[in-house]
Structure 1
């Protein structure tokens, strides 16, 4: 027993071949998938490039922030060092040393791994009024890595008791 198809395919395809406008219409549609694929590739490439650019600028921002934190820590260290010089333990406060004297004994950070390539500059100004000595101490920390320089300045005002 042989199975017969429910409809005659030869007649159907024969009728399609006799209609040239259908064949012409199908030829116009064959390139649309290629255009869509190229469009998707271009859009995804643009998104990828934007993401890479964002990540690069984010990493650069973090590097500058770390360098700024190191400079701030160096400035704080210089400030604390000068305060310890002006207000020694178990004795009275002293007059600020001259800037030349301060520059000659300003500490360096050779032993501190986190503050290598950092320098500090400290200044101390004092004056006396009504037998009370007032101090303004300013410290600037500056850190350099690969030619990039970041500096932070901190200041404190103090008075003797």
Structure 2
């Protein structure tokens, strides 16, 4: 190739103009938007699951406290109305507290305590009773209590 041929080639190449296409960039913006929206949805779902689990834990603890209170109530009723004999007067609160059952070896109620009170009075040769029992359960610093009461009378 002659020198002139090289120049023409160079000249021809320099005459070629490259058109720059304008970058839209919308794909990048949409991708960032989708990532942000999905992250926000994920965070909201995690928060909902966490609060849901906490609600279930309180519900279970409340059920345990209610069961403990019911157990105390049933225990006191069996003390006041023993099998094969008539109803007796409520014992003093000290006597009740010293004999109240514990749940140390009971699965699910081991962290629960009960407090039972019994009051009675007699009217027209009929003895009336009011028995109240509260159950309190603690787990990892959270405490839940339930209170139940029953009124009964001798026959």
TM-score normalized with structure 2 length:
0.86
**Where does residue 69 of structure 1 map in the other structure?**
63
Decide which of 22, 25, 44 is 1:27's aligned counterpart.
22
Residues in 2 aligned to 1:134 and 1:97: alpha-carbon distance in whole angstroms: 14
Which structure 2 residues correspond to residues 8-157 of structure 1 after superposition, within 5 A? 23=20, 26-29=21-24, 31-157=25-151
Secondary structure of the residue aligned to 2:118 is strand
Q: Can you give the 5+ residue segments of structure 2 that lack an aligned partner in the other structure?
A: 1-16
Residues in 1 aligned to 2:105 and 2:31: alpha-carbon distance in whole angstroms: 60
Residues in 2 aligned to 1:148 and 1:107: alpha-carbon distance in whole angstroms: 23
Deviations 1:6-26 (A, max 9, x none): xxxxxxxxxxx69x7xx4xx4
Deviations 1:25-49 (A, max 9, x none): x4251x1110110000000000000
Runs of 4+ that moved beyond 6 A: none
CA RMSD in angstroms comes to 1.3
